[in-house]
Amino acid sequence: MHRRDFLKLTGLGLGAMMLPTVGVVHPASLDAAVMDTADKKKLADIALNAANAKGATYCDVRIGRYLNQYVFARENKVQNVVDTLSMGVGIRVIANGTWGFASTDDLSPDSVAKAAAEAVAIANANAVYQTEPVKLAPQQGVGEQTWKTPIEKNAFNIPIKDKADLLLAANAAAMKNGATYINSVLFFVNEQKYFASSDGSYIDQDIHRIWPTFQATVIDSKSGKFQNRQSLSAPMGMGYEYLDGKASEKMKGETTVYRNSYDMIEDAANAGKEGKRKLTAKSVAAGKYDLVLDPSHLWLTIHESVGHPTELDRVLGYEANYAGTSFATLEKWKSKSFKYGSPIVTLFADKLQPHSLGAVGYDDEGVPTKRWDLIKDGILVNYQAIRDQVQLIDQQESHGCCYAQSWADVQFQRMPNVSLAAGSKPLTPMDMIKDVEKGIYIIGDGSYSIDQQRYNFQFGGQLFYEIKNGKIVGMLKDVAYQSNTQEFWNSCVAICDERDYRLGGSFFDGKGQPGQVSAVSHGSATARFNGVTVINTDRKI
């Protein structure tokens, strides 16, 4: 299973176990787990004062209330509805120049003070092995602040019946149009996080995310062969209004792409039709092609070949879990001339992007979030770094990309939204296709593999259309392309303009040991890459 979205496979329910939970939620539990801001501040001050009394030179406190809801359906039946609640406090300190961390789900004053003292004791014990003291980039306290995901409809207030009816209607549409089987899921996340620090910050944030997804399977009863078509939705930092389905746009054939709104029933119906077409599609002939990559596909290539290799801890070799280290080493950055991509390629990190999964006002160190360039006009210009890392690249300000998956986990550097800037000249996908003589138009993400330095890779997709002499002439199957990161991004010759810009992303980006997951978006407009090697993935036995 791929860490990014293994829920799309047959074990759809397993993803529920990856997010922090404490079991099934009852209505009374939700009512009991509500704290007003004043009470959170009092509790945070208890922790801050207790840590200071024990000798901590720095302390931050995160009081978290995490709600998750999952609704599962298969064909004409609702399989399960799961609500989970997790609430507690995590306390991080520096004592004797060393980090210490402790957490508790007991929010009584005595328990919180005890956890703060324990964090300091752990730091003191760790100091024996610390060779250099922790150095934090300066961060001025921001006082009392609030931030909320701008939502129109709180998904947790929508009746379960409405959600179940939507899944069953989508399943019915898929099966009416050719699907043999379909699994569908609705995921909703609400992170309510209160952050306080000895720098003088008291920040209350209310974060919402949503992900509707499915996998439809079409089987040829005569041959026994089958094809899958996964949802073309993107997980988003939005409320239930995302499912209004008002902003879809027709593309070639039945294919529909979605911006900041998603019609699950329409997409499921198209999945049935396109699954049938994939069964009879022509198998691709291996060779060199110009690729036209839709944002619903390109987000994953960005994630693997740019997002992970520009994480500073991977660059330095401090982190290797899940995704390895990085080829984008410091000497390449220091040269100020490393050609990561062609001159039209600018890839930026952004924690402010509206509707994105990573959008917050402040990170989990209380740093105001921002946008910054990673690749500028094709040149590697920066990395992703937090308060205790930026001095390693001679910078004085955290990038604001620190995150923990729950109150019980220590925060560390996590990937912000990383996106490809749209082209500056007017260009639509259909205009782009008109100039392609021999190419493939790829929609949706699929299987992939990439090496431990994020360099050599292979990517599949969901839908593949053959382009000949500027026209789409039919559907292909068994397509995957191979390249290396530098070669691939230097082959980028055109990017559509802002009108085509869309987000993709993952709820389950894994990192760390013990492992944590985070949600991250990647935006782009449709882009063209010339002369890329395409292989045929059909298994002939």
Q: What percent of the chain shows pLDDT beyond 90? A: 88
Give the mean pLDDT of 488-503.
Answer: 97
In degrees rounded to 5, what are phi and psi of residue 491?
-90, 0
Nearest to 289 by CA among 446, 434, 467: 467
| CB atoms closer than 10 angstroms to residue 256 | 18
466: Cβ contacts below 8 Å, ≥ 6 apart? 282, 284, 439, 440, 472, 473, 474, 475, 476
pLDDT for the residue numbered 352: 96
Would you state the pLDDT for residue 257?
72
Nearest to 179 by CA among 203, 208, 213, 215: 215
**What is the pTM for the complete model shown?**
0.94
Q: Is it the case that residue 35 has pLDDT exceeding 90?
A: no
DSSP conformation letters of 450-475 = E-TTS-EEEEEEEEEEEEETTEEEEE
List the domains of the chain with CATH numbers: 6-216 (3.30.2290.10), 283-536 (no CATH)
DSSP-derived letter for residue 445 is: E
How far from chain centre, in Å, is Cα 490? 25
Tell me how far apart the alpha carbons of residues 184 and 345 are, in angstroms, rounded to a whole number.
36
Paired tokens of 72: 């599962």
Residue type (1 letter), 9: L
Would you say 367 and 200 are in contact if contact means Cβ atoms under 8 Å apart? no
Tokens 């991080």 found at? 92
Q: What digits encode the pLDDT tens for the residues 290-306?
A: 999 999 999 999 999 99
399: its two tokens: 């990038």
Question: What is the overall mean pLDDT for the chain?
Answer: 93
Percent of the chain with pLDDT over 70: 92
Distance CA 185, CA 179 (A): 16
Confidence of residue 259 (pLDDT cuts 50, 70, 90): confident
| pLDDT reported for residue 14 | 47
What is the C-alpha to C-alpha distance for residues 492 and 530, in angstroms, rounded to an integer? 7
Q: What are 81-95's pLDDT values in tens digits?
A: 999 999 999 999 999
Amino acid at 211: W
pLDDT at res. 247: 53
Question: With 80 as the cut, is the pLDDT of residue 215 above it?
Answer: yes
Average pLDDT over residues 137-149: 97
Contact between 210 and 236 (Cβ < 8 Å): yes
Q: Quick one: pLDDT band at residue 30, thresholds 50, 70, 90? A: low
* Cβ atoms of residues 417 and 353 within 8 Å: yes
Structure token pair of residue 136: 């934090």
User: What is residue 5's predicted lDDT score, i.e. its pLDDT?
Assistant: 42
Q: Is the dihedral of CA 446, 451, 454, 458 positive or negative?
A: negative
- The C-alpha atoms of residue 52 and residue 47 are separated, in whole angstroms, by 9
| DSSP per-residue codes, 240-259 | GGGGG--SEEE-STT-EEES
Mean pLDDT score, 216-224: 93
On the question of a cis peptide bond just before residue 514, with omega within 30 degrees of 0, the verdict is: yes
Residue 34's pLDDT is 76
The predicted-structure confidence for 469-493, as pLDDT tens digits, reads as follows: 999 999 999 999 999 999 999 999 9
If one compares 221 and 3, the residue with the highest pLDDT of the two is: 221
What six digits make up the tokens of 328?
């984008």
The residues pairing with 417 across neighbouring beta strands, listed in sequence order, are 350
Q: How confident is the model at residue 1 (pLDDT cuts 50, 70, 90)?
A: very low
> For residue range 150-169, what is the model confidence (pLDDT) as tens digits?
999 999 999 999 999 999 99
Residue 2 has a pLDDT of 40
